Amino acid sequence: MEVGIVGLPNVGKSTIFNALTNAGALAANYPFATIEPNVGVVAVPDERLEQIRVHIASEKIVPALLRIVDIAGIVRGASKGEGLGNKFLSHIREVDAVLHVVRCFEGGDITHVEGNVDPTRDIETIDTELIYADLETVEKSIDKQRKLARAGDKDALGAVPLLELVIAALGRGTPVRAMGLKSDELKAIKMLGLMTSKKVLYVANVDESDPTGTGPLVQKVREKAKAENSVVVPVCGKLESELAELSTEDRKMMLADLGMKEPALNTLAREAYHMLGQQSYYTAGPKEIRAWTIPVGATAPQAAGVIHTDFEKGFIRAEVYNFRDLMEHKSESAIKAAGKMRSEGKAYIFQDGDITHFLFND
């Protein structure tokens, strides 16, 4: 699963990407500096891993990982090819969800591409370009489906009314994610790769003086996000890039001085992980404690298959307890004695925080 960082040029996308991935030197301040998307892998912060290790001795901890794609800045007219827009838009089609970085600070050395700072306008600029591109995609598809429908194709006869509905809504400026489509309707158009169907998390790039995003510019982003049931995470790209370069002890000291419990990017990584519909279960033993990523609703065999496909094919059962049980009883033997260790079969739906041992046929 991948999330793509998008936004106008010079809003702080690459600064935040580099801080997230601790990639070192920041990207050059050019609107079209990044033509091919940079890809980084981010550990999803999870304090439960260390808490498990308190009760189950282990050599190492392996967190869940999230792939982040830094996509070059999108400008007004990108859907018509401005700024190599079509190439950049194709990168958005390939990711599973979007982190939309919005500039929410005045001043600074970097001039805003539109001449002034207006988060609402900036969001609408990106949305408009993606809507135009999606509209072109759907119009091409409906022409083909109409021809098939006239020939009596049953699937096409069902597809045409749905595509007409989508075209009308896009024409009104409504992104697919805000159309209220049912799950089967979204599934029917998934193959089109519509960019506005992807979930969006807004990243408000704030000033050093407002790291928690209490100012009026961030409030505009929150209003927009609330209207479409999205989430906003305030992040000061400049501060976060400085924190990413520090040692663990120096980072703790700087966070304490700022009155922050953890880097804002920790919150961002967790929110992105959950936006993708992912959750973690754990395996724990003397060699490693590892967080495994599974979609919400995954069955026990599907969860086993994340470790190895043979585990899913030969699945017998899972011995399961939850992180909360370990915190209460302190050891697996005590969990068993309390009757909290469960033997679950193929129909079991894994829960976030489950700790398990799988039994399977070779």
Q: How confident is residue 27, by pLDDT bands cut at 50, 70 and 90? A: very low
At 42, which amino acid appears? Answer: V
pLDDT above 80 (res 158): yes
- Over residues 148-159, the mean pLDDT reads 91
The amino acid occupying position 305 is G
Asked if 45 and 262 touch (Cβ cutoff 8 Å), the reply is: yes
Q: What are the backbone dihedrals phi and psi of residue 83, each rounded to the nearest 5 degrees, phi first?
A: 60, 35
User: Does residue 34 register a pLDDT over 50?
Assistant: no
Using DSSP, how many helices (H) and how many strands (E) does the chain show? 14, 12
pLDDT at 75: 65
Residue 31 DSSP one-character state: T
What pLDDT does residue 94 have? 87
Domain 297-360 is classified in which CATH homologous superfamily? Beta-grasp domain (3.10.20.30)
H or E segment and range at residue 322: strand 315-322
* The two domains 2-274 and 297-360 share their CATH topology (first three levels equal): no
- The residues spanned by each domain of the chain are 2-274, 297-360
> Residue 15 pLDDT more than 80?
yes
> What is the per-residue pLDDT across 180-206, written as a single tens digit (0 to 9) for each?
999 999 999 999 999 999 999 999 999
pLDDT band, residue 40 (cuts 50/70/90): confident
Mind listing the pLDDT tens digit for each residue in 111-120? 666 678 899 9
Q: What is the mean pLDDT of the chain?
A: 88
Per-residue confidence (pLDDT) for residue 140, from 0 to 100 = 93
Q: What share of the chain is helix, strand, coil (3-state, %, to 5)?
A: 45, 20, 35
In percent, the amount of the chain with pLDDT more than 70 equals 90
- Predicted local confidence at residue 293, as pLDDT: 97
pLDDT at 186: 93
Q: What is the pLDDT of residue 23?
A: 41
Token pair listed for 234: 């305030």
Q: Which residues of 127-142 are buried (b: 16+ CB within 10 A; e: fewer)?
A: bbbbbbbbbebbeebb
Q: What are the tens digits of pLDDT across the range 76-114?
A: 665 565 544 455 677 888 899 999 999 999 876 666 666
Third-level CATH fold of 2-274: Rossmann fold (3.40.50)
Average of per-residue pLDDT across 135-162: 93
Residue 13 in contact with residue 70, Cβ under 8 Å? yes
CA atoms within 13 A on the CB side of 245: 11
Q: Is the pLDDT of residue 29 over 90?
A: no
145: pLDDT strictly greater than 80: yes
Longest CA span, the chain: 70
- What residues have CB less than 8 Å from 138, skipping those under 6 apart? 163, 166, 167, 170, 189, 192, 194
Interatomic CA distance for residues 103 and 119, integer angstroms: 6
CA distances from 348 to 42, 217, 323 (A): 29, 46, 17
Is the pLDDT score of 175 beyond 60? Answer: yes
pLDDT one-digit tens code per residue, 302-347: 999 999 999 999 999 999 999 999 999 999 999 999 999 999 999 9
Average pLDDT over residues 29-40: 51
Average pLDDT over residues 278-305: 97
Span 138-159, mean pLDDT?
Answer: 92
Residue 259 pLDDT level (bands cut at 50, 70, 90): confident
